[in-house]
Amino acid sequence: MKLVNTVLSILLAASLLACSGKEEPAPAAASAAPVSETAAPAGPKVVEPAYGRGDGAMGDTMKTAYLEFTLNSARLVPSWQTILPDAGMKLLVLNITTKSTQTPDLTLYDTDYQVQWGGTGPEDYSTPLTYRDEWATAPTYKRTVNLDGVEGMFPGTAVLRKDESLSADYIYQVPEGYSDFKLEFQEFFEDESLGDFFCVTFHADPETE
């Protein structure tokens, strides 16, 4: 199905399907296994939705109805190339690979991937800096940074043919003091119906100049 991405999809994802902070209880402790039998750390995996959502981590391939995406890296920096954040903010630079799995061509938008931190209010979300909402009241949406001359950044929109991939930097402005984030994607279809919801939980330590 062809994706139609609007601000409505972002708002619905934020208000209805935000990543849950609830943790499952830890299983009962088992007897210690010999060192030689200790399982190796789990590597990246393919995540398909179950019961309306899919949850993953950095490096996982998230399989949606019409695309696959992977969060490759995350950096929390005081500046990026020519970009300087607003006062009290830092820049979160996410490198994301998106692959189209649909026919006809798939149009990508900068609002496809939203970042969450802290709570679930409008001040706890951000879209990439390439998206500007002049009517927004939250500081993460109404921004004044200059994007001229930035290389490698997702341009705001792109078109992919089936099986074509694009890797690009998505740059977000986030409040200082946070290092745990969630990357969110909501399936949204041409008939304005919502599909599955995807959440990638990750950590980014602040970097200095």
Domains of the chain in sequence order: 55-203 (2.60.40.1240)
Helices (H), the chain: 7-16
pLDDT tens digit string along 73-131? Answer: 999 999 988 888 888 999 999 999 999 999 889 999 988 999 999 888 878 888 898 87
pTM of the model: 0.78
Distance CA 11, CA 195 (A): 14
Q: Which residue has the higher pLDDT, 70 or 1?
A: 70
- Reduced to 3 states, what is the DSSP secondary structure of residue 36? helix
CB of 52 closer than 8 Å to CB of 194: no
Q: 57 versus 145: which is more confidently predicted? A: 57
For the CA atoms of 189, 190, 192, 196, what is the dihedral angle to 10 degrees?
A: 0
ω before 41 within 30° of 0 (cis)? no
HSE-up of residue 29 (Cα within 13 Å, Cβ side)? 2
Residue 133's pLDDT is 53
- pLDDT > 80? residue 209: no
| Average pLDDT rounded to a whole number, residues 167-179 | 93
